[in-house]
């Protein structure tokens, strides 16, 4: 058993939440050890930045907070205490300036996660943070010491004065976020809401012809409607369904509808910038003997994938009548019959029930043990909201640890 100093903080999980907490805690003078079951920390940070690290969003704070829907009240104190401006300042302090994209999303100037992660790890080591990799957390012993399993060291135990759990959800198993911690906490009597896919794709049945030709092709500049929600953006056709930003934004109500056995039809508007009247007027200029595909591409500039989707959903019987075709283009229905597996999702819903933690995200049944980020039961759309809330909860917990440590030493 390894001896740990009395005022020592253990962070379990070396993803974005764990690393920003380590920065704040070590910067405040506390001894910090980060445990991670992977060979190196920051794997999830790198994967999140694969297409450009979208760290937050620049919209007004009230609009920003509303993006969290029913989870707003749970997350609001943490986000206000460490808001998008504070997150951008933190990046700037690390030497990574940020910029606002045309969509309002915020990115590092390098548009990559690697430079930010490299500078953060360098500062953590300078501040004395110790990293212990390939340590898989298995729970606590009878004396409340943390227990780990290492491939060569075997079982080890650590007794810090505070612990911060930042093990993520279950949507990125290749980074170590497997959700295995749910069994550990269940055993400890902590209520866990089952993990489910969030910001995920959905399943539908395409014909073999359509799937083989158009899987991986985007549908750009569209609008999707489900129940009372409408989202602009783009979607990606997959071999067995549909995914992408516009679909992710509808994932929560759509998943809930499917789980409840309710109607699961989404309506697709292929011409959201034109009214139905404008579409009809464009379609009225069909040339003699012009094929349906050429007609649609010439008049409305529909992509080949959009035209093929019209054929797919009508059994290759696209109506010639302008009124019928206009309605179809503005209200193309797609029936989804399932959710893509959780390991293909961008994030997860579910986790530690909100009532199991206090305002600083400390477990009520495990004093001095905090849980942050996707381990908690909340969800948010993509666009910077996921990472912002993840980091904000970690900062809130870390500040609480610093304050309680100072009070105990006073």
pLDDT-derived band at 388, boundaries 50, 70, 90: very high
% of the chain beyond a pLDDT of 70: 98
- Asked whether residue 4 carries a pLDDT value surpassing 50, the answer given is no
Cβ-contact 81, 400 below 8 angstroms: no
Class of the CATH domain delimited by 8-197+348-409: alpha beta
- Asked whether residue 360 carries a pLDDT value surpassing 60, the answer given is yes
User: Which pLDDT tens digit goes with each residue over 21-35?
Assistant: 999 999 999 999 999
pTM of the model: 0.91
Query: Residue 42 has what pLDDT?
Result: 86
The owner of tokens 């996921």 is 386
Residue 70 φ/ψ, nearest 5 degrees: -65, -10
As a three-state string, the secondary structure of the chain is: CCCCCCCEEEEECCCHHHHHHHHHHHHCCCEEEEEECCCCCCHHHHHHCCCCCCCEECCCHHHHHHCCHHHHHHHHHHHHHCCHHHHHHHHHHCCCCEEECCCCEEEECCCCCHHHHHHHHHHHHHCCCEEEECCEEEEECCCCCEEEEECCCEEEEECCCEEEECCCCCCEHHHCECCCHHHHHHHCCCCEEEEEEECCCEECCCCHHHHHHHCCCEEEEEEEEECCEEEEEEEEEECCEEECHHHHHCHHHHHHHHHCCCCCEEEEECCCCCCHHHHHHHHCCCCCCCCHHHHHHHHHCCCHHHHHHHHHHCCCCCCCCHHHHHHHHHCEEEECCEECCHHHCCEEEEEECHHHECCCCEECCCCCEEECHHHECCCCCCCCHHHHHHHHHHHHHHHHHHHHHHHHHC
CA–CA dist 309, 399 (Å, integer): 52
CA–CA dist 59, 65 (Å, integer): 10
User: Which pLDDT tens digit goes with each residue over 179-218?
Assistant: 999 999 999 999 999 999 999 999 999 999 999 999 999 9
Average pLDDT value over all residues in the chain = 93
Residues in the chain, overall count = 410
Query: Residue 286 has what pLDDT?
Result: 87
CA–CA dist 285, 278 (Å, integer): 12
- Asked whether residue 19 carries a pLDDT value surpassing 50, the answer given is yes
- Asked whether residue 44 carries a pLDDT value surpassing 90, the answer given is no
CA–CA dist 300, 114 (Å, integer): 42
Cβ-contact 247, 224 below 8 angstroms: yes
User: Which pLDDT tens digit goes with each residue over 71-98?
Assistant: 999 999 999 999 999 999 999 999 999 9
Query: Residue 410 has what pLDDT?
Result: 67
- Asked whether residue 248 carries a pLDDT value surpassing 50, the answer given is yes
Query: Residue 49 has what pLDDT?
Result: 66
Q: Report which listed range, 141-145, 235-239, 262-266, is most confident.
A: 235-239
Average pLDDT of 84-113?
A: 94
- Asked whether residue 3 carries a pLDDT value surpassing 50, the answer given is no
Query: Residue 47 has what pLDDT?
Result: 77
Per-domain residue ranges of the chain:
8-197+348-409, 202-339
Query: Residue 5 has what pLDDT?
Result: 45
Two structure tokens written together for 157: 């135990």
Average pLDDT of 1-10?
A: 63
- Asked whether residue 401 carries a pLDDT value surpassing 90, the answer given is yes
CA–CA dist 217, 307 (Å, integer): 12
Burial of 186 per CB tally in 10 Å (0-12, 13-18, 19+): exposed
% of the chain beyond a pLDDT of 90: 84
pLDDT-derived band at 36, boundaries 50, 70, 90: very high
- Asked whether residue 122 carries a pLDDT value surpassing 60, the answer given is yes
């Amino acid at each position: 058993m390894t001896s740990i100093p009395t005022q020592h903080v253990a962070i379990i999980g070396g993803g974005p939440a764990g690393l920003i907490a380590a920065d704040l805690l070590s910067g405040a003078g506390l001894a910090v050890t980060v445990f991670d079951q992977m060979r190196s920390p920051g794997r999830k940070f790198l994967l999140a930045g694969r297409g450009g690290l979208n760290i937050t969003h620049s919209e007004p704070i009230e609009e920003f907070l509303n993006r969290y829907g029913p989870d707003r009240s749970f997350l609001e104190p943490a986000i206000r205490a460490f808001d998008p401006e504070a997150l951008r300042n933190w990046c700037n302090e690390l030497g990574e300036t940020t910029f606002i994209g045309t969509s309002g999303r915020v990115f590092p100037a390098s548009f990559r996660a690697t430079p930010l992660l490299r500078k953060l790890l360098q500062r953590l080591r300078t501040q004395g943070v110790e990293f212990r990799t390939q340590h898989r957390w298995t729970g606590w012993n009878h004396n409340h010491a943390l227990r780990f399993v290492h491939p060569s060291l075997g079982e080890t135990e650590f007794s810090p004065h505070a612990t911060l759990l930042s093990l993520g959800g279950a949507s990125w198993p290749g980074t170590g976020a497997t959700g295995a911690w749910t069994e550990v906490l269940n055993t400890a009597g902590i209520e866990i809401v089952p993990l489910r896919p969030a910001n995920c794709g959905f399943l539908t049945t395409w014909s073999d012809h359509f799937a083989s030709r158009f899987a991986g092709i985007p549908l750009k500049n569209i609008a999707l409607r489900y129940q009372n929600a409408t989202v602009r953006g783009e979607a990606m056709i997959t071999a067995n369904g549909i995914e992408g930003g516009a679909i992710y934004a509808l994932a929560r109500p759509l998943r809930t509808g499917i789980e409840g056995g309710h109607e699961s039809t989404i309506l697709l508007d292929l011409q959201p910038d034109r009214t139905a009247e404008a579409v009809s007027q464009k379609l009225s200029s069909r040339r003699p003997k012009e094929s349906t595909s050429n007609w649609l591409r010439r008049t409305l500039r529909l992509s080949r994938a959009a035209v093929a989707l019209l054929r797919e959903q009508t059994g290759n019987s696209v109506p010639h009548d302008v009124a019928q075709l206009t309605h179809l283009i503005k209200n193309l229905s797609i029936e989804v019959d399932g959710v893509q597996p959780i390991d293909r999702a961008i994030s997860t819903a579910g986790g530690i029930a909100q009532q199991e933690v206090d305002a600083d995200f400390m477990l009520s049944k495990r004093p001095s043990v905090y849980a942050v980020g996707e381990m908690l039961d909340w969800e948010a759309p993509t666009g910077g909201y996921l990472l912002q809330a993840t980091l904000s909860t970690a900062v809130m917990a870390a500040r609480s640890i610093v304050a309680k440590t100072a009070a105990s030493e006073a």
